Amino acid sequence: MSLDKTSANLGKAPSGDEHVVENPEAAAAAVTAVDPRLLVREQGLLGYWSEFKRKMKAGELGSLPVVLGLAIICIIFQVLNSEFLSAQNISNITVTMVGTGMISVGIVFVLLLGEIDLSVGSVSGAASALAAVLTVNQGWPEWVAVLVAVAAGAAIGALHGFFFAVLGAPAFAVTLAGLLFWLGFMLKVLGEDGTINLDSEGLIGKLTTYTFTDVAAAYGLAVVVVALFFVSSFLGNRRREAAGVPSRPLSDTILRTGLLAVVSFAAAYMYNQYKGLPLATVIFLAFLVATDFVLRRTPYGRKIFALGGSVEASRRAGINVTAVRISVFAISGGFAAIGGLFLASKIASANQSAGTGDLLMNAIAAAVIGGTSLFGGRGRTWNALLGVLVIVSIQYGLQLESIAEPVKYMITAAVLLTTVVIDSITRKTQKTAGRA
Amino acid sequence: MVHVSATPVLALRGVSKRFGAVQALTDVELEVHAGEVVALVGDNGAGKSTLVKTIAGVHPIDEGAIEWDGKAVSISRPHDAQALGIATVYQDLALCDNIDVVGNLFLGRELRKWGVLDEVEMERRSRELLTTLSIRIPSVRIPIASLSGGQRQTVAIARSMLGDPKLVILDEPTAALGVEQTAQVLDLVERLRERGHAVILISHNMADVKAVADKVAVLRLGRNNGVFEVKTTSQEEIISAITGATDNAVTRRAARTSSTNGEVSK
């Protein structure tokens, strides 16, 4: 009986994908957890190319469309105006994007659940107004006001989450109500003057104006980032090898580290050509690294992805669905508040137009343009960085060309639509390739 | 020969369950031993699903007793059943499409190291588990969405094995599967038996039942209608127990077709 034969071979079954089999007969008898139909990646550079081609055909584009789009945007604006890729302009773009980018990080969390938060614009405005009133009118220390504003944002988000998760109201409607309510709250808090000027030398003011002027700061950060990346990948691979599960070859790690090094040091060089490394960008990157870690490496992040995949499966697996939902909306509110503080810092005031206009749409568009799925379960917080880079680059490029606001809206809309269309088409391709 | 222990892992004694005016189960008896596959069969509405849900703790029983390893226990919540060592694989598999095989196997009981997911250890254990069960899937790192129906079923069953349960309940594991995939799942059921697990298999498919089960427990209108040794029982006997009569639609059809065959051969 064949069953006996297979069970007799269990003990000595090879465990690696890349195991080279010399005796085909023994291979047929041995049972591995790996299907023989699996395409094993070829080694070396050729392997990357064939893997890349296969992924493109299967519709696994990942961040490729947005990176290509960003490159095209840069080339077009650079041709139109050689100022576009100047150190000053790029530095300004990467500082301006932080406010919207932070809000977009929160949106990525909510989109991962397959939900939407329409209140983030108003919540960001309300938080900045709260911080301004507490520091300027009430005389609180700025750091306390900042903490209170962020905590208030998280509490507001948790409140929205409560209505959605516990009472079962659709998130769309709850946060739409939140959009109106917190807009009213902000106007009320700001009072009759409507504008509170912040101390541009204070903590909130410095958020977007402070730069590490020392040349060593930017290079130092680049060295630390590259070294940390290499060491963690290297040690991770060593652990995988020791445990006998497939691991990346060293050449792969070196290639990735090399790419990261090129990008990091180019950025550091560029910042040092202008005023130095901006504090805002460093804080944004730190939040991106932290949130990416939470989402992909912690049990909490796994729960968020699980809920985005199947609520019923998550519930049966013992995940506290209500708690995770409320916490995700709290995160969204918290990041909205953080983004609001950066936006207020940029204009050194809290005014009645904070959190209104195209802010909400830009934050959602950034997450989607970056590659986060609108249907839940797919996305990374780095998507927010890529998406917001695209949006703010377009704004700055059009400003250099002195193209008016109406055209800016239309072009941003075209980019968003293109992204969503690409997303839909790749989703179809992925379905036929069995990956969605 | 499969070794069967003297004390059943699970024994139901005179179990009854009512839903309002409906008497779903009446005085049902069932015994499952370690290393034994018991098929639970019956027509739609016979009470199979209700019986399984009482064992799994979804619906607590109204009357009767449940014995676990010879001792009376009460199962009033799904958690109680899990704590005893009962794993249930429901018909809708409850897997997350967007998460890879390793993530799904460990969903809700992730291994941690300093509060962080221990992916390496989870992957190693997943491969070990899948290898022991001779489950073949393209890779443990692809999302469930890229697996076929049969592969998903085997992943769902493998998932139930992670807690090393004593009793595994499979609710129609082959209902939606093709020939090859059905064979894979049946192989897997046999492997569970070899490893000494007790298995309750709910199935409508007599061929599957004959292929892997040791005993067949028939339910009819919420009551026991016989327990048969598979080896010594014909398919017709089981079917007549399910339908409740020797004269039933299946036998009439069989008689009709054989008589027409006879006429043709003349």
The string of DSSP codes covering A160-182 is HHHHHHTT---HHHHHHHHHHHH
Any B CB within 8 A of A318 CB: yes
User: What pLDDT is attached to residue B154?
Assistant: 84
Q: Which residues 6+ apart lie within 8 Å of A193 measured at CB?
A: none
Q: E strand or H helix at B193, and its extent?
A: helix B179-194
| DSSP 8-state assignment for residue B30 | E
Structure tokens at A424: 């839909």
Of the candidates A124, A132, A198, A200, the residue with the CA atom closest to the CA atom of residue A157 = A124
Q: Residue B173: what residue type?
A: P
CA of B217, closest CA in chain A: separation in Å? 26
Query: What is the Cβ-side half-sphere exposure of residue A263, based on CA atoms within 13 angstroms?
Result: 8
Whether the CA torsion A307, A311, A312, A315 is positive or negative: it is positive
CA distance B88 to chain A (A): 11
Residues of A in contact with B109 (CB under 8 A): 317-318
C-alpha A385, offset from chain centre: 6
> CA of A237: which chain B residue's CA is closest?
B120
Q: Are strands A277-278 and A211-212 parallel, antiparallel or unpaired?
A: antiparallel
Q: List CB contacts (< 8 A) between A434 and chain B.
A: 145-146
Q: How many CB atoms lie within 10 A of CB B266?
A: 4
Which residues does residue A13 pair with via DSSP β-bridges, in sequence order? none
User: A35 CA to chain B: closest CA distance, Å?
Assistant: 4
Nearest residue to B201 (alpha-carbon basis) of B219, B181, B216: B216
Q: Which of B108, B117, B119 lies nearest to residue A317, judging by beta carbons?
A: B108
* Predicted local confidence at residue A18, as pLDDT: 39
Nearest CA in chain A to B109: A317
pTM: 0.82
What pLDDT shows up at residue A435?
A: 53
* Residues B237-264: tens digit of each pLDDT: 888 888 876 666 666 676 677 666 544 4
The answer to whether residues A415 and A394 touch, using CB atoms and an 8 Å cutoff, is yes
Contact (CB<8Å) B97/A309: yes
Taking the C-alpha atoms of residue B59 and residue B51, their distance in angstroms, rounded to an integer, is: 9
Q: Do A35 and B140 count as a contact with CB atoms less than 8 A apart?
A: no
* pLDDT of A132: 93
Interchain proximity B95–A310, CB inside 8 Å: yes
User: For A189, how many CA atoms within 13 A lie in the half-sphere containing its CB?
Assistant: 28
A–B: how many Cβ contacts below 8 A? 116
Determine the pLDDT at residue A26: 39
Token pair belonging to A341: 């503080």
Distance CA A269, CA A218 (A): 8
A133 vs A340: CA distance, rounded Å: 14
Residues 15-44 of A with CB under 8 A from B: 15, 17, 31-38
H or E stretch covering A211: strand A211-212
- Could A245 and B124 be called an inter-chain contact, meaning their C-beta atoms sit closer than 8 Å? yes
Partners of B22 in beta bridges? B19
Cα distance between residue B168 and residue B161, in whole Å: 8
Q: Each residue of A344-387: pLDDT tens digit?
A: 999 988 888 888 888 998 999 999 888 888 888 888 999 899 99
Contacts of residue B260, Cβ cutoff 8 Å, sequence gap at least 6: none
User: How far is residue B131's CA from residue B241's CA, in Å, rounded to a whole number?
Assistant: 39
Question: Which region, left, alpha or beta, applies to residue B36 given φ > 0 means left and ψ of -120 to 50 means alpha?
Answer: beta
Q: Which residue among B99, B116, B134 sits closest to A305, beta carbon to beta carbon?
A: B99
Output the pLDDT for position B264: 45
pLDDT 10s digit of each residue in chain B, 266 long? 445 557 899 999 999 998 888 888 889 999 999 999 999 998 888 888 888 888 888 888 888 999 999 889 988 877 788 888 888 888 776 789 889 999 999 988 888 888 899 989 999 999 888 887 777 788 888 888 888 877 888 888 888 888 788 999 998 888 877 787 788 888 889 988 998 899 999 988 888 888 899 999 998 888 888 888 888 888 888 888 888 766 666 666 766 776 665 444 44
User: Over its length of 436 residues, how does chain A's per-residue pLDDT go in tens digits?
Assistant: 333 333 333 333 333 333 433 444 433 334 444 444 455 555 556 667 777 777 766 666 667 778 888 899 999 999 998 889 999 999 999 999 999 999 999 999 999 999 999 999 999 999 999 999 999 989 999 999 999 999 999 999 999 999 999 999 999 999 999 999 999 999 999 887 788 898 888 899 899 999 898 889 999 999 999 999 999 999 988 988 888 888 888 888 899 999 999 999 999 999 999 888 999 999 999 999 999 999 999 999 999 999 999 898 888 788 889 999 999 999 999 999 999 999 999 998 888 888 888 899 899 999 988 888 888 888 899 989 999 999 999 989 988 888 877 887 888 788 878 877 877 777 676 666 555 4
Q: CA–CA separation, A207 vs A343, rounded Å?
A: 10
Paired with B215 in beta bridges are: B38, B229
Report helix angle A299-309 to A321-347, nearest 10: 100
The stretches of A211-358 forming alpha helices (DSSP H) are: 215-243, 250-273, 279-297, 299-309, 311-316, 321-347
A21 neighbors B124 (Cβ within 8 angstroms): no
Whole-angstrom distance, CA of residue A164 vs CA of residue A285? 31
pLDDT at A97: 95
CB contact under 8 A, B116 and A316: no
pLDDT at A178: 96
Nearest residue of B to residue A434, measured between CA atoms:
B146
Cβ contact (<8 Å) for A297 and B117? yes
Do A352 and A190 contact (CB within 8 A), yes or no?
yes
Q: How far apart are CA A107 and CA A383, in angstroms?
A: 11
* Separation of alpha carbons A69 and A368, rounded Å: 14
**Matching residue, tokens 């652990």:** A239
The answer to whether A97 touches A310, Cβ cutoff 8 Å, is no
Question: What does the alpha-carbon distance between residue B87 and residue B226 come to, in Å, rounded to a whole number?
Answer: 25
